[in-house]
Structures are given as structure tokens and as C-alpha cells.
């Protein structure tokens, strides 16, 4: 099992060592910053050069940020670029760099590339989620498109987006 984390020295990252792993399995923690293509390449290089990793069966691309909430008129252009960089471009770079390991997937199963989306990234359900997370929502719509495109273009691979679940917070007039 591989855990790609922004800060391997943080208490949260270190707590991953307490998770149970299957027989014969080990947890490898590697530095990974989805906003940096160099970090993504370095993480893959670390896995293949320091560990005997020749294949990856499942990738769950969970990196994402929500740094700003506001209407379309309030949304920062630079903030939008930053969120696209992590939420979309980071997933594209991850897929491009991990693909050589995915295409050698073992155990007869098709490799899987799973992205984490959000209801905020649903165009059809936008009226039901009136959150002012404009830049975040746009980045998740684009991520959903990218994930579907990955699935279509790679017949020996399964790619799909998942919504991690509803988080009920105290926002007036929503629930």
C-alpha cells in the first residue's frame, strides 16, 4: 500500500503507520504534492527506484483543495488557476506519470484510476447545491471530464470519479 502525502512528517501522515495492512504488505509513505509536476515525478521515481514496485493495480487520486468560496463575480482568477492546478492538472500529471505502472497491473484484474469528485462538480445538480465554490466546482467538472476521457482512451483500464459522501454543515437555506 502506498500513501502519497503532502507532509510525511505531520502527525496525520505518521498515524497512517497504525493502519492494518494485509499479510505480506507494507505501507510506503511518499512525499506527493499534486500542485507540482516535479513532486509527482519524484514520487513515482522514489517508488520505482527505492522499492521493488513494478506495477500498481489501483490509484485513488484524492488530492484536492478548496481555497476560496465566492460567487462568479467574487472568484479570484489566480485562485481559480491554483485550484485547477491541484484539482485537475495534478490528476492529469499523476495519471500520465503512473500509467506505465498501471498498464502492467497484475492478478488478472483491470487497473483502476479513481478520482475524487464532488457534488459541487455536477452541472445537472447545481441548483441543489447552491455553494459559492465557483473555482472548486469548475475544477471538479473538468476533473470529471478528464476521468471519463481517461476511461474511454484506455480500454485496458477502468477510470471513474466518486463523490466521497455528503458533509452536512450548517449553511442556512440548504438543508
Per-residue pLDDT tens digits for 25-74: 888 899 899 999 999 999 999 999 998 888 999 999 998 888 888 899 99
The domain that contains 70 carries what CATH number? 3.40.50.720
Q: Specify the residue for cell string 500498481.
A: 56
Annotation says 140 is catalytic: yes
174 inside domain: no
How many structural domains comprise the chain?
Answer: 1
Measured CA to CA in angstroms, residue 22 lies from 1, 26, 69, 111, 114 at distances of 9, 8, 41, 19, 21
pTM (two decimals): 0.87
Annotated catalytic residue within 41, 112, 140, 166: 140
Grid cell for residue 124: 445537472
Annotated catalytic residue within 136, 148, 149, 155: 136
Closest CA to 32 of 91, 101, 108, 117: 91
Q: Which domain holds residue 96?
A: 61-162
Instruction: With H, G, I as helix, E, B as strand and everything else as coil, classify residue 36.
Output: coil
Annotation says 84 is catalytic: no
Amino acid at each position: 500500500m502506498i500513501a502519497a502525502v503532502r507532509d510525511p512528517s505531520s502527525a496525520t501522515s505518521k498515524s497512517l503507520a497504525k493502519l492494518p495492512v494485509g499479510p505480506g504488505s507494507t505501507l510506503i509513505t511518499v512525499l506527493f504534492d499534486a500542485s507540482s509536476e516535479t513532486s509527482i515525478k519524484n514520487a513515482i521515481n522514489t517508488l520505482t527506484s527505492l522499492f521493488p514496485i513494478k506495477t500498481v493495480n489501483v490509484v485513488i487520486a484524492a488530492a484536492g483543495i478548496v481555497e476560496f468560496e465566492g460567487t462568479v463575480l467574487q472568484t479570484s482568477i489566480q485562485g481559480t488557476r491554483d485550484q485547477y492546478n491541484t484539482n485537475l492538472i495534478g490528476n492529469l500529471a499523476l495519471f500520465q506519470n503512473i500509467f506505465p505502472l498501471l498498464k502492467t497491473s497484475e492478478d488478472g484484474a483491470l487497473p483502476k484510476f479513481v478520482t475524487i469528485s464532488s457534488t459541487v462538480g455536477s452541472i445537472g445538480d447545481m441548483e441543489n447545491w447552491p455553494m459559492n465554490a465557483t473555482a472548486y466546482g469548475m475544477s471538479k467538472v473538468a476533473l470529471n471530464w478528464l476521468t471519463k476521457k481517461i476511461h474511454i482512451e484506455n480500454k485496458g483500464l477502468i477510470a471513474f470519479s466518486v463523490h466521497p459522501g455528503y458533509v452536512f454543515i450548517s449553511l442556512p437555506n440548504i438543508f
